[in-house]
Amino acid sequence: MSAASKEYKRVTVKSLTEMKSNGEKIAMLTAYDYTMAKIVDGSGVDVILVGDSASNVMAGHETTLPLTLDQMIYHASSVVRAIDRALVVVDLPFGSYQGNSKGALAAAIRIMKESGGHAVKMEGGSEIKDSIKRILSAGIPVMGHLGLTPQSIYKFGTYTVRAKEEEEAKKLIKDAKLLEKLGCFAIVLEKIPAKLAKEVAEQLAIPVIGIGAGGGVDGQVLVTHDMLGMTHEFNPRFLRRYLDLYTEMTGAFNQYIDDVKSGDFPSAKEQY
């Protein structure tokens, strides 16, 4: 377990607000399966995000768009079975909440009922306010997501830094305030200038968790497979790699192949 100012037996949406008030940074990572979630939760991370980045990381799609609600429920339920402490937030997939608040509520209810997740995350601001409101009215906690929102990649055209221009920055601040007013318990800010992210975090009472948004926010999130160095083609400036598992795993697989081919594995001790 790493250092924390207060021990939380179970992290709730309330704990996160308390962490912000106490000046304790929130550590969030992704997981999509039982085994990884067990390790991530056991290490003491506060929030586990079952992100729709599963579309890229687990399924090999170029974007997050193809992932279905059934697939998100499969990933989320695998994660929930592993968890003792962390708050589990599940992405609502593309197409399940945009433009139809009744459909959005139905999707969020399926996530909560069928996976056992604790909250949902949704990308966007004023455009999706009706869906957010309806989901919140059913007692389902919502985490917002502004800045680079990968479900809108075809609108942006690229994965470059968002809200560098004043007009977009102003809209982002307005949307962040709206999400807080609607009742979201936290907001993710992805790939925006650090100065802007700090300004948003200072203006909101709810926690702001950044990815590529600098150190002036209330917490950080990374994709676990990226920070472990399992993926090696994705190299944004914000990514800190804590291991080089791609190289380590390749070495282990090479050794296994050699051992099988040479007859070294299994040894006398490794058989019945």
Shortest separation between residue 254's beta carbon and ligand KIV, angstroms: 30
Q: Which residue of 40, 51, 67, 220 would you call a contact of ligand KIV, by CB under 6 A?
A: 51
Phi/psi of residue 270, nearest 5 degrees: -100, 25
Site for ligand KIV in 90-129 (CB under 6 A): 91
Q: Give the pairing of strands 47-50 and 26-30.
A: parallel
Which range binds ligand KIV by CB under 6 A, 34-42, 47-55, 78-86, 264-272? 47-55
Is 154 or 272 the residue whose CB approaches ligand KIV more closely? 154
Token duo for residue 59:
């399924």
Shortest separation between residue 199's beta carbon and ligand KIV, angstroms: 20
- Binding of ligand KIV at residue 30 (CB under 6 A)? yes
Is 3 or 223 the residue whose CB approaches ligand KIV more closely? 223
- Binding of ligand KIV at residue 49 (CB under 6 A)? yes
Residue 208's beta-bridge partner residues? 187
Query: 94 in helix, strand or coil?
Result: coil
Residue of 98, 101, 48, 55 whose CA lies nearest to 78: 48
Which helix (H) or strand (E) element contains residue 19? helix 13-21
Site for ligand KIV in 181-240 (CB under 6 A): 188, 190, 211, 221, 223
CA 27 vs CA 24, 40, 209, 241: distances in Å: 10, 11, 9, 15
Is 91 or 175 the residue whose CB approaches ligand KIV more closely? 91
Residue number, nearest CB to ligand KIV: 51
Residue of 70, 49, 71 whose CA lies nearest to 60: 71
Beta-carbon contacts of 204 under 8 Å, excluding residues fewer than 6 positions away, are 176, 177, 180, 187
Whether 167 is catalytic: no
- Binding of ligand KIV at residue 146 (CB under 6 A)? no
Residue among 190, 202, 233, 248 flagged as catalytic: 190
Residues that bind ligand KIV (CB under 6 A): 30, 49, 51-53, 91, 188, 190, 211, 221, 223
